[in-house]
Structure 1
Amino acid sequence: MTPESLQWSTNALEELYQYLDKKNTKAFIILKNGRIAIEYYFDGFSANNPWYWASAGKTLTATAAGIAQDEGLIDINHKVSDYLGTGWTSAPLEKENLIQIKHLLSMTSGLDDSTGDNVSPENLQYVADAGTRWAYHNVYVLIQDLLEQASGQEWSTYFNSKIKNRIGMTGTWTELNNLSVYWSNARSMARFGLMIASEGKWDTDQIVPKSYVQEAVNTSQQLNLSYGYLWWLNGKASFRLPQSQMQFNGTLIPEAPLDMFCALGKNDQKIYIVPSKDLVIIRLGEVAEGENFALSNFDNELWKKINAVIP
């Protein structure tokens, strides 16, 4: 598609490109009705260049967990110890056994979020009972380990066979600061977004159960209404942010459509999905302003520019 055929504002589109360039963007894509309407690259970047997803890639792990559950390999309502054995944290055993896979998916493990990214047992300290405290924590990455245990395959092998190869993505997992980070080109990120926007379906192939996708992109607990299973949700009455126990009233990104949900990665890696407008929007690049872990002021300002383009 073209912006002109969709009757989008081409004048506002030029302003959008200038803003994206100013904010250190490498790649920007808008899919409308499953087709590329806008695809733009900056600073010598191209459609073939890979870039890191950062925490936007958390959603890849959440999606793989849904597939594994459908295959009967795991049950997200079972405790993590069923798959990793006891002693995977430094919490007392009775507290560790409260932590289910669902708590890792919803950021409610109750483990200390102030000890850094290291997910070795000595660094996973008890703070509160699972399900009683929301805190953004990279302990979610242990879902990859338990999927290895449950499937008998390396994480990347399982991911490639169940998601990457089935929807034609490129990309690789790399270790960065003790975390598994995904790198791909922008179109691969758009493919993943499109599959989620289609409620887990790719062409005629149901990659992820529709019911699981619906569960993942809706409020997963009552502590942070704006969080699903590693997905951020717009349009809720309140939200919490990484490295804080404060609750903020209002919607996550006021300028974005209320039904929008998104994958947000460190330093402004973005997947926005808007069901009501059949939009998937991708942004990859350097940090737009100050370093951030998920949400930033850039999100709201970017949506002001997008709204000027799309009626």
Structure 2
Amino acid sequence: MKKIAIIIPILILLISCSKDDEISVNDPASENIYFPQNGSDIWETKSISELSWNENNLQPLLDYLELKNSKSFIILHDGKIVVEHYFGTHTATTPWYWASAGKTLTTAVSGIAEQEGLININNKVSDYLGTGWTSAPLAKENLITCKNLLSMTSGLDDSNNGVTTADLQYLADAGSRWAYHGVFFKLQDVISQSANQTWDNYFNTKLKNPIGMSGAWLSTVTENVYWSNTRSMARFGLMIYAKGKWNSTQIINENFLNAATNTSQNINQAYGYLWWLNGKSSYHLPQSQFEFSGSLIPNAPSDMYCALGKDDQKIYVVPSKKMVIIRMGNSADETNFALSDFDNVLWGKINAFIN
């Protein structure tokens, strides 16, 4: 009996250690992640040799990025900079547009607004904006929830990307069709209305300033585009990688981020709340109703999720590799709305460097 009494606690201890080890590997928020100070240019680095990456393959990676019209490129590992490179006249302080990669900023602020009780993403948009914000019949308009805007399932006609009432025409019931559409910008109006302040002010107070980003929103006729330096994009990617934390402060609820970075509807498996998801069995692309088989970016890790913008603006978040990767620049090849062949070739070059 004494032997059994001794063995049981040992087994419990071994099981407990095994579980802790598993959490340490798969949960980046449990790691000792580095965060750069706000208001400082100091950002700690990590050497390539420390990570045992193939330094000989760094230059081919940078050469490819330069060939493909890149302006900046950063790789973070657990928050520390491993690679930071600027091309041509672009510098660390030069602002550049996020394009649709900035959609995920709206996702983040939506999560903050929900945890503050200002909105509920399951409520219909007209609860916040009033009826008549679209040209759809009232019964159809009232089907559209904030979650439909986050998941691109509003059912509104995507042949016109404008966001005026006249532009927002009914095509299908909300939730029945996935289509890439600028109507998600209405979430910014929802949050502004609910917070009783401008979108810019709420964004700055709740997200930009707490994580030390630079940048500003610049409005056009059809959209609101964020511009910043590359490190500010990296700060945002790092906060997402850290499951919504910045240092010891929880900026965004982790449960919301888990939902945002997993499949949000049953039509496009590779889409969360304005985040693109790798490693799914099929995906849809903007301006198409065709379903493609296979992973979004086959060369990339299956657990990667990403913010993809026009002309190849990229935020890649890879929990299994403890990495955040940023690319800003002009279009690598032809103008595109999100994904391009550049993603897969680039990941081939990245793999040769990090493996």
With structure 2 as the length reference, what TM-score do the two structures score? 0.87
Give the match for residue 277 of structure 2.
233
Shift of 1:10: 1.4
Percent identity for Structure 1 against Structure 2: 61
Q: For residue 180 of structure 2, what is the amino acid of its counterpart? A: Y
Q: Secondary structure at the match of 1:183?
A: strand
Give the match for residue 307 of structure 1.
351
Give the match for residue 138 of structure 1.
182
CA displacement 1:105-148 (0-9 Å, x = unmatched): 00000000001x31001110001000000000000000001111
Q: 2:114 aligns with which of 69, 81, 84?
A: 69
Alignment of 1:143-162 (within 5 A): 143-162=187-206
CA displacement 1:222-264 (0-9 Å, x = unmatched): 1000000000000000000000000000000000000000000
Could you say what the CA RMSD is over the residues aligned between the two structures, in angstroms?
Answer: 0.6
Q: Secondary structure at the match of 1:194?
A: helix
Give the match for residue 22 of structure 2.
none
Q: Is 1:251–2:295 an aligned residue pair?
A: yes
Give the match for residue 75 of structure 2.
30
Shift of 1:178: 2.2
Return the alpha-carbon distance in structure 2 between the equivalents of residues 25 and 307 of structure 1: 18
Q: 2:92 aligns with which of 37, 47, 52?
A: 47
Alignment of 1:74-85 (within 5 A): 74-85=119-130
Give the match for residue 295 of structure 1.
339
CA displacement 1:79-129 (0-9 Å, x = unmatched): 0000000000000000000000000000000000001x3100111000100
Shift of 1:5: 2.2
Alignment of 1:2-21 (within 5 A): 2-21=47-66
Aligned length: 310
Q: Secondary structure at the match of 2:103?
A: helix
Q: Is 1:110–2:155 an aligned residue pair?
A: yes
Q: For residue 49 of structure 1, what is the amino acid of its counterpart? A: T
Return the alpha-carbon distance in structure 2 between the equivalents of residues 219 and 46 of structure 1: 36
Return the alpha-carbon distance in structure 1 between the equivalents of residues 221 and 52 of structure 2: 45
CA displacement 1:152-178 (0-9 Å, x = unmatched): 010010000000000000000001342
In structure 2, stretches of 5+ residues that fail to align are 1-45
Shift of 1:308: 0.2
Q: Secondary structure at the match of 1:45?
A: coil
Return the alpha-carbon distance in structure 2 between the equivalents of residues 286 and 64 of structure 1: 27
Give the match for residue 168 of structure 1.
212
Q: Secondary structure at the match of 2:299?
A: coil
With structure 1 as the length reference, what TM-score do the two structures score? 0.99
In structure 1, stretches of 5+ residues that fail to align are none
Q: For residue 246 of structure 1, what is the amino acid of its counterpart? A: F
Shift of 1:277: 0.7
Q: Is 1:269–2:313 an aligned residue pair?
A: yes
Return the alpha-carbon distance in structure 2 between the equivalents of residues 137 and 235 of structure 1: 23
